[in-house]
Amino acid sequence: MRSRVTFRTIATEWETTVLPMYKHSTQKHRRFMLNKHLSPRFGDKAVCEITRQEIQVYVAQLIQRGYAPKSIDHVHDVLSAVLRTAVKWGHIAENPASGVDLPKLRAVRPKWALTPPQAAALLNKLPPMERAMVGLAILSGLRRGELFALRWQDIDQESRVLKVREAVYDGVFDSPKTSAGLRQIPLSEVAMRFVDEWRERGNTVDPSALVFSTRTSKAISPNNVLRRAIFPACEALNLPRATWLTFRRTYSSWSHDKGVPGKVIAQLMGHANVDTTLNVYTQVLDGALRTAVEKIGTELFTIVHESEGADAAGAANR
């Protein structure tokens, strides 16, 4: 006899018992997709009656309603996850979401990276805290969640090494996105300069305090920083709106341009597809990683100082 359990029942159990296994950011995103799209559409229907053809029709309807291919892919991914659980729990024999044709993914916004002169101009346009944030982001390749979870104890001034141990999303602290995200990043002299300049402005001596925080020592919203400081600076410089992903991409692009090996870049950026051991990581850290960050830092250091010198000369002449 076929199970007559409804999609809503399976979805509720999935949300309670399976979804908590994911990172907070993933939980929030999948819960939104479930409640906004899937439960209203399939909630009262028995899972055994949901067919591949019906799901294909639903995908076509989303396309007609103007949803982007990536959004449709996300909706389908959550639907497939719930139905896959229904298979595991013995309610259906196979996942009807498998094999559904989806629209081809395409980039809605062009991917771009800052040139060194653009980066220098942007840094000189930003207030002190945002300048430190962006400078460190460009010169370390940190993900935004890693940058905003950074604590003073994670930065070793003497050895100029940054340890990535946490990430934050919506004020919730967790481990980094992947196991490869737990890493050490050697910092160039220029990166340390941004850190030291910001440290000198702060009043905290607590090593566990966040490097960047609100006045109440809470985690800062990365999107608020974009809206209040970075976007206005970009507009003033006639640049496209730079995001935290732009800074991470800039780091990768500059590294490739300087001839840094792809494996080294992947390790520095914490990509999950790099299989490293402690011995291999330490070996690279002592050699190629240090060379990599110094190459990148030296170029930005030169441009920033040239720009600052020109500004000072102009002020003197006035």
Tokens coding 39: 């439960």
User: pLDDT (tens digit, 9 = 90+) per residue, 20-55?
Assistant: 998 888 999 999 999 999 999 999 999 999 999 999
pLDDT digits (tens, 9 = 90+) for 272-313: 664 432 222 233 334 556 666 777 777 676 666 666 666 655
Angle, helices 290-317 vs 244-257, to 10°: value is 110
Whether the pTM exceeds 0.95: the reply is no
- Is the pLDDT at 155 greater than 50? The verdict is yes
DSSP 214: -
Residues 167 and 181 sit within 8 Å (Cβ to Cβ) = yes
Please report, rounded to a whole number, the percentage of residues in the chain having pLDDT higher than 70.
Answer: 85
Q: What domains sit in the chain, N to C, each tagged with a CATH number?
A: 7-88 (1.10.150), 116-317 (1.10.443.10)
More confident residue, 107 or 222: 222
pLDDT digits (tens, 9 = 90+) for 91-146: 999 999 999 999 997 765 667 889 899 999 999 999 999 999 999 999 999 999 99
Q: How confident is the model at residue 314 (pLDDT cuts 50, 70, 90)?
A: low
CA distance linking residue 277 with residue 270, whole number of Å = 13
Residue 150 · residue 187 · CB < 8 Å: no
Q: Is 6 helix (H, G, I), strand (E, B) or coil?
A: strand
Say if CB 65 and CB 103 are below 8 A apart.
Answer: no
Per DSSP, the residues of 97-139 read TTT---PPP--SS------HHHHHHHHHHS-HHHHHHHHHHHH
Task: Look at residue 253 in the predicted model and tell me its pLDDT.
Answer: 84
